[in-house]
Amino acid sequence: MNTVSGNSASSKPGTPSASTVPTQPLYQAYPTYTTTPHTVVYIPPVPQRRRSFCGWLLRAFMVFLAFFIVLKSISYLVRGSIDIGPLPIEPSQWSYDIPTEVNYDGCISGDKWKPWNKGTFSGFPYSSTTSFDVPLADGLYLLERGQLSGGRATYTTSSGQPSGTAKVQITGWYHRRDLFGLVKACSVQRSNWNKENGVGIFTPRWSRWYYHWRREDKVNFDIVVTLPEGASKASPRLIKSFVTDIPNTSQELQDLSSLLFDSITIKGSNSAIKVAALRAHEGTLITSNGHISGKFDTDSNLSLKTSNGGIDIDVALSANKTDSTIKLNAVTSNAKMRAGVSLLSSKHEGGNFEVTTKTSNGRSSVSIPDAPVDSKLLLTSTTSNAHADVSLHPTYEGKFVVTTSRSSKIEVIVDDKVKDPSGQQRKRSRVGLSRRGSHSGEVFWGDKSEKTKDGVVKLATSNGEAILSL
């Protein structure tokens, strides 16, 4: 039997005895705060990175552009919203622009022209006219210069016109009599080797940029050139040279097929050139922002050039000389091209021909409806972003290349039923290689080894189908 001494206290289970409890103070003191010494480091400011030259240049350009826009806005405000009055007629404010290669005399000022009461021109209350008889021995020259120049010109023939001269009649339509008095029509002669005689029409060019013409300042000219008529188309009258340089003026050549021009140059701008019938050894027609259309016949070279206007022509290229190459060059942009080109030969065979047509962003269509046997043709026809096609006469022999974008259609059409144009019952052969975006080949009659002349035809476009018909 276990016994417990009387001075010992009984304890409950889990309660530590007094002898086992550690002794701790009721409150503990916080650690003493001490100041930690530190070092202040001075960091100098980093200098701003220098602006690059390109950045400076860009900012300078933006400032200049803003200044230019503001200046133009003020200009339009002054010219359009504020009435600065009519164009001044004081001599110190204007001058005439006469080319240095032109000699002139016998000028007639507008206030000396005769009143014109025949016909009307829409919107103009007054009209006056004057005329010149120009000798044709050295050719004919027509010139126009000045800020007010513009209108229309017509070239025609008459059986009543004396054979050695051309009549140039100029009618002016206007609002202001004082301003029309500054117009001058003069006899002129070019100082080139041809020394063509003709007529120059000069209007002032104002020296201040803010001078502009209003409706009542406008002048419009109607020019009619009458040439002596030839005996017939079979026996045409020869004109040595005809040159025009008349900006902002539409030009119409009526049926001049009874004449044969040794050389003709029709030059304008911002207007169309329309031809009913023209025959020339050398022909050049140039304009801009206007179309060129008509019928032409040449046995040497014909060049047609415009921009932002279509070309719609029928041309006869005649090979009357054995070794010479007869050329056609027709160029425009942003417009349609259509050319029908007949290749002719005085011997009904042979001949060398070169045809070039070029446009962009417009459909191109070139056809060769006639060509002599054994002739040689070099043809290049190009456009872009549009359909292009070339149709050749069965007499064509030579190579061909057709190209367009890889995703566009190419087609080469061959008429296997066509008969030998020479009448020799020869067989027609064609070889070709087709790839994506191009097709090349060759076509010929009879034995290839017997060929002495090979033509070349190139047809090209982009983003449009290309079709060649043989």
pLDDT in tens, 249-286: 999 999 999 999 999 999 999 999 999 999 999 999 99
Does 43 have pLDDT greater than 50? yes
pLDDT score of 242: 98
**How far is Cα 190 from Cα 87, in angstroms, rounded to an integer?**
31
Answer for the pair 368, 341: CB distance below 8 angstroms, yes or no.
Answer: yes
- Of the CA atoms within 13 Å of residue 62, those in its CB half-sphere come to 6
pLDDT in tens, 174-183: 999 999 999 9
> What is the DSSP code string of 273-338?
EEEEEEEEEEEEEE-SSS-EEEEEEEEEEEEEE-SSS-EEEEEEEEE-SSSPEEEEEEE-SSS-EE
Which of the listed ranges 70-74, 147-151, 441-445 does the model predict with the highest average pLDDT?
Answer: 441-445
Measure the CA–CA gap between 363 and 386, rounded to whole angstroms: 5
Q: Is the pLDDT of residue 1 over 50?
A: no
Longest dimension (CA), the chain: 174
pLDDT digits (tens, 9 = 90+) for 19-30: 444 444 444 554
Stretch 298-327: mean pLDDT: 94
Q: Band the pLDDT of 202: cuts 50, 70, 90.
A: very high
pLDDT at residue 450 greater than cutoff 70: yes
Q: Which of 31-35, 297-301, 442-446 has the lowest mean pLDDT?
A: 31-35
Burial 36-50 (b: 16+ CB within 10 A, else e): eeeeeeeeeeeeeee
What is the mean predicted confidence (pLDDT) over 49-61? 70
Q: Supply the pLDDT for residue 129.
A: 97
What residue type is 370 in one-letter code?
D
In 3D space, the residue among 335, 333, 266 whose CA is nearest the CA of residue 303 turns out to be 266
What value does the mean pLDDT take over residues 411-433? Answer: 91
184-193, 284-293, 326-335, range with the lowest pLDDT: 184-193
Does residue 270 sit in helix, strand or coil?
Answer: coil
**Neighbour count for residue 27 (Cβ, 10 Å):** 5
**pLDDT score recorded for residue 258:** 96
pLDDT for the residue 26:
47
**Residue-wise burial string across 179-218, b where 16 or more C-beta atoms lie within 10 A, e elsewhere:** bbebbbbbbbbbeeebebbbbbbbbbebeeeebeeeeebb
Return the bridge partners of 128, or none: 115, 172
Which residue, 130, 132, 170, is CA-closest to 149?
170
Q: For residue 322, what pLDDT is reported?
A: 67
Residue range 239-250, pLDDT digits in tens? 999 999 999 999
pLDDT at 191: 83
Buried b (16+ CB within 10 A) or exposed e, 271-280: bbbbbebbbb
pLDDT at 56: 75
State mean pLDDT over 201-226.
Answer: 82
Q: What is the pLDDT of residue 67?
A: 79
Mean pLDDT of 188-198: 87
pLDDT at 39 over 70: no
pLDDT at 72 over 70: no
Query: Are 265 and 292 spatial neighbours (Cβ–Cβ below 8 Å)?
Result: no
How far apart CA 319 and CA 350 sit, in angstroms, is: 8
Residue 30, SS3? coil
- Cα separation, 299 vs 324, whole angstroms: 9
The percent of residues above 70 in pLDDT, for the chain, comes to 83
* Mean per-residue pLDDT, 381-398: 97
Ramachandran class of 277: left when φ > 0, alpha when ψ lies in -120 to 50, beta otherwise: beta
Mean pLDDT of 107-129: 87
**344 within 8 A of 316, measured Cβ to Cβ:** yes
- Give mean pLDDT, residues 291-319: 98
Query: What's the whole-number mean pLDDT along residues 24-49?
Result: 52
The answer to whether 279 touches 260, Cβ cutoff 8 Å, is yes
Contacts for 179 with CB less than 8 Å, ≥ 6 apart: 86, 87, 89, 148, 217, 219
From the list 316, 317, 288, 319, the residue with the least C-alpha distance to 304 is 288
What's the CA gap between 414 and 371, in Å, rounded?
Answer: 17
pLDDT band with cut points at 50, 70 and 90 for residue 94: confident
Alpha helices in 135-292 (DSSP H): 177-180
The answer on pLDDT for 206 being more than 90 is no
Specify the higher pLDDT residue, 72 or 456.
456
Pairing of strands 197-202, 249-255: unpaired
With CA atoms as reference, report the closest residue to 183 among 207, 208, 200, 166: 200
C-alpha distances in angstroms, 376 versus 141, 339, 462?
37, 19, 27
| Domain positions in the chain | 87-229, 288-470
Confidence of residue 326 (pLDDT cuts 50, 70, 90): very high
Average pLDDT over residues 220-233: 93
Give tens-digit pLDDT for 145-155. 998 889 999 99
pLDDT of residue 232: 83
Tokens read off for 40: 């202040």
CA 210 vs. chain centroid, Å, equals 29
Tell whether the model's pLDDT for residue 391 goes beyond 50: yes
Contact 259, 283 (CB under 8 A): no
Residue whose tokens read 């007639």: 108
Average pLDDT in the 343-347 region?
91
Most confident of 55-59, 100-104, 333-337: 333-337
Which tokens hold the place of 132?
């010149």
Q: Sign of the C-alpha dihedral, residues 231, 235, 239, 240? A: negative
Alpha helices in 53-176 (DSSP H): 53-76
Contacts of 62 (CB under 8 A, 6+ apart): none
Backbone angles phi, psi at 282, to 5 degrees: -125, 125
Q: Is the pLDDT of residue 38 over 70?
A: no
Residue 11 in this model has a pLDDT that exceeds 70: no
pLDDT at 93: 77
Q: What is the DSSP letter of 426?
A: P
Going by pLDDT thresholds of 50, 70 and 90, the confidence category of residue 34 is low
**What mean pLDDT is predicted for residues 186-205?**
90
Range with lowest mean pLDDT among 151-155, 314-318, 404-408: 404-408
Mean pLDDT of the chain: 86
Highest mean pLDDT out of 81-95, 146-160, 446-460: 146-160
